Amino acid sequence: MARFTRIQVVSQMYQTGLVPVFYHAQLEVCQAVLQACYQGGVRVFEFTNRGEYAHELFAVLNKYAAQQCPELILGIGSVVDAGTAALYLQAGANFVVSHILNPEVAKVCNRRKVSWSPGCGSLSEISYAEELGAEVVKIFPASEVGGPSFVKAIKGPSPWSSIMPTGGVSPTEENLREWFEAGVHCVGMGSQLITQQLLKQQDYQALTEQCQQALQIIRQWRQ
């Protein structure tokens, strides 16, 4: 069962502004990355459903987060069907993210009152997702559907839409400024934040510092 309500999830997404997106097959690496991001100020984290037995890994990681990072809201990403969503909800996922729009996933999440963010690439898809109960809508791949200018164009006729771009977001001041000036709710960031070089060197302190810097940039531009 989720430890956080969907209202808490949506609120914390906005307050933090940054949702790291990550998967690794080794539990120890996942725990180290989770802890490093948490120490850097991150409070919402998306683990992705990408490897074999990922659901088993997530279940252990979620228990770890509850004990070692009590304020961290851990959710699952890359979910494409209702069965997979239900599997992760049983493991305590606090939110579900998809890179596609599947109404059946919405039904499963809504029944359990768990936040669901589907992947959309047009205003029609965003509107439909909101009709299905999505509070925060993911645009993916964000750089390919139009980037910050797409978000700005959407916010014109639909100022109520809460958008989380993923894919093409980097922790630089220029990139983050463009997204937040366009009016995003928060941003999702994967390999641009948790780089292969950091993982290879096991430089988790550098990851903590990178998160701190990114969050500081977001706070500055929101002010």
- How much is the mean pLDDT over the chain? 97
Q: Look at residue 83 and give its three-state secondary structure.
A: helix
Element (H, E) at 32: helix 27-39
Q: What is the DSSP letter of 52?
A: T
Question: Given pLDDT bands bounded at 50, 70 and 90, which one contains residue 8?
Answer: very high
Q: What are phi and psi of 180, to 5 degrees?
A: -75, -30
Superfamily of domain 6-218 in CATH is Aldolase class I (3.20.20.70)
Domain range list for the chain: 6-218
Q: How much of the chain, in percent, has pLDDT values that exceed 90?
A: 95
**Would the pLDDT of 223 be above 80?**
no
pLDDT digits (tens, 9 = 90+) for 138-196: 999 898 989 999 999 999 999 999 999 999 899 999 999 999 999 999 999 999 999 99
User: Residues 128-140: pLDDT tens digits?
Assistant: 999 999 999 999 9
| Burial of 107 (C-beta count, 10 Å sphere; 0-12/13-18/19+) | middle
> Which pLDDT score is estimated for 130?
98
How many C-alpha atoms does 1 have within 13 Å on its Cβ side? 2
C-beta neighbour count of 180 within 10 angstroms: 21
Tell me the mean pLDDT in the region 92-118.
Answer: 98
